[in-house]
Structure 1
Amino acid sequence: MPIQDEVVQIYHKIQKKVNHPYLNRYLPKPAVDIDKVLTLFLLFKQHGSYKNIEQYVMSVMIAQMGLDTHEKITKNEKLKGLELKQRQLTVLSGDFYSSLYYYILAEQKDIQMVKWISQAIQELNINKMHFFYAENDANIDYYFDHLRQIESHLIIKLAERLGINDWTDIIADFFFLKRLHLERDYLDHTREDTHTSYIYHIIQDTDIDKRKFIEQIENKMNQIRNKWSMDILPKKQILSKHLGYLIDHFTKESPSFTRTTLLKGRINYAD
């Protein structure tokens, strides 16, 4: 089966796995980031020793969804009625996803993977604490550095545990770029879901110039694009077919996120 078909199949199985009729009555369906599904799938493929890749991808993605869901919890203390119920259910749904990923891994009897993901979640939460409770003199680069780590931390830590360290830089930059696009949109438009914005949290109720912050975000986005459009790979470098597929996907999803070496066809994929 082609990689794309396998990934789409896993994507739909995740949606089905987290589907809950009662939650669906009150909450929007949880988003599944298919870019992360693909990345996880290719990492396990590259490692080559995991038989039930589908189950592992599902478990990590559902763990990520649990974390993402808890970030949607509002701090408004004046909620009543339906809004209060929605907040309570948001908390419970996040807990549901978090327990579900444990259950999937328990079926695989893979205690080591449970430990890896648990440690990664702990480190991710520490990064979030550093981000949201930074010292008053923290500069924009401090926030960007932590935001980059937060956005793909589970995947990066898994890649490191699997010994696929040469993938981590491009993965981290791609998902960081995706997050920066979202953050710019949050700040550039009036959005009802600003509570899911990291940057919004640190500039609300401050005298920070929002337009200036948007400019800084765009500058960082350009830095990432320039980094990956430079001809920095050796002309005869050979990429694994899985990394090559991933880079091709990233390039299609974000056309400005590419290497000129790939566009010039000077890199071969290993069989």
Structure 2
Amino acid sequence: MSIQDEVVQIYHKIQKKVNHPYLNRYLPKPTVDIDKILTLFLLFKQHGSYKNIEQYVMSVMIAQMGLDTHEKITKNEEFKGLELKQRQLTVLSGDFYSSLYYYILAEQKDIQMIKWISQAIQELNMHKMHFFYAENVVNVDYYFNHLRQIESCLIIKLAEKLDINEWSDIIADFFFLKRLHLERDFLDHREATHTSYIYHIIKGTDIDKQNFKEQIEDQMNQIRKKWSMDILPKKQNLSKHLGYLIDHFTKVSQPFKRNTLIKGRINYADR
């Protein structure tokens, strides 16, 4: 079975694992990032000592889903009827995913991995606190630095625990780039959605959205330049699994079209 086939298989197993008929009636289908599945899969492959890679990948991804789901909870206290039910179920579904990843690892009897992921979640939440509750911050680089960590903290902390540190910067770049694409689309369409990080920065302010978009574009250009001048020329000296991951990252991100990353991910998984 090819790497792509194994990753797609894990993707569908995660979808099945988190499927809940009652939640499906009221909440949208949870998002599963297949690029993160691939990254985790190759990390464990690179390490070489984990037999049930599928279970470990599933546990980390479901932990990420729990964090992402709790992030969708709004602060509005005036919900009634169906909206209130949806809000309550969002809280419960996030708790469900969080407990599910513990259960999967408990089946593997891997207390060390539970500890590692818990530590990574703690650090991730610290970055979110710094991002969402910063006071009197006018430097956009402050937000970009924390956003870069938020997007890949769970995977990078795991890579460090597995002693595969040379992957960290590449992984952080790619998932930060994905987030910047989404945020640029938000600014293009002016969609006031709490799932956008940038929305939390600019809501209720007189920040020049066009200027913010230009700074996002500049950040994206810096990543592209770094990859073309530093990462790609060195690819032949990297491990087989990291080389595969870089090939995938460059293929997915190369077009830089609106929604390319999201659509590509869905088509890849739902073939």
Calculate the TM-score normalised by the size of structure 1: 0.91
Point out which structure has higher relative CO (alpha carbons under 8 A, 6+ apart): 2
| Cα separation, 2, equivalents of 1:8 and 1:197 | 27
- 1:235, CA displacement in angstroms? 6.3
| Cα separation, 1, equivalents of 2:231 and 2:169 | 13
Partner of 2:219: 220
Alignment of 1:13-52 (within 5 A): 13-52=13-52
Quote the RMSD (CA, aligned, Å): 1.5
* Secondary structure in structure 1 of the residue aligned to 2:238: strand
| Cα separation, 2, equivalents of 1:236 and 1:226 | 15
Partner of 1:95: 95
Query: 2:66–2:94: 8 Å Cα contact kept in structure 1?
Result: yes
Say if 2:247 is the partner of 1:248.
yes
Say if 2:137 is the partner of 1:137.
yes
| Cα separation, 1, equivalents of 2:26 and 2:234 | 54
Query: 1:41–1:57: 8 Å Cα contact kept in structure 2?
Result: yes
| Cα separation, 2, equivalents of 1:236 and 1:145 | 25
| Cα separation, 1, equivalents of 2:137 and 2:234 | 44
Partner of 2:185: 185
- 1:256, CA displacement in angstroms? 6.0
| Cα separation, 2, equivalents of 1:219 and 1:130 | 23
Alignment of 1:107-126 (within 5 A): 107-126=107-126
- 1:68, CA displacement in angstroms? 0.3
* Secondary structure in structure 1 of the residue aligned to 2:207: coil
- 1:133, CA displacement in angstroms? 1.3
| Cα separation, 1, equivalents of 2:57 and 2:110 | 13
Partner of 1:163: 163
Runs of at least 4 residues off by over 4 Å: 231-237
Query: 2:236–2:243: 8 Å Cα contact kept in structure 1?
Result: no
Report how many residues are paired.
Answer: 256
Equivalent residue letter for 1:195:
H
Calculate the TM-score normalised by the size of structure 2: 0.91
- 1:234/1:198 Cα in 2 relative to 1: closer, same or farther (>3 Å)? closer
- 1:237, CA displacement in angstroms? 4.5
Equivalent residue letter for 1:103:
Y
Q: Deviations over 1:121-176 (max 9, x none)?
A: 00100110011111303410110000000000000000000000111111000000
- 1:79, CA displacement in angstroms? 1.2
| Cα separation, 1, equivalents of 2:119 and 2:78 | 35
| Cα separation, 2, equivalents of 1:191 and 1:207 | 16
- 1:78, CA displacement in angstroms? 1.8
* Secondary structure in structure 1 of the residue aligned to 2:149: helix
* Secondary structure in structure 2 of the residue aligned to 1:230: helix
Partner of 1:74: 74
What percentage of residue pairs aligned between the two structures are identical?
Answer: 87
| Cα separation, 2, equivalents of 1:171 and 1:59 | 19
Query: 2:39–2:245: 8 Å Cα contact kept in structure 1?
Result: yes
- 1:29/1:107 Cα in 2 relative to 1: closer, same or farther (>3 Å)? same
| Cα separation, 2, equivalents of 1:228 and 1:256 | 15
- 1:164/1:76 Cα in 2 relative to 1: closer, same or farther (>3 Å)? same
Say if 2:204 is the partner of 1:195.
no
Q: Which stretch has the larger CA shift, 181-190 or 43-52?
A: 181-190
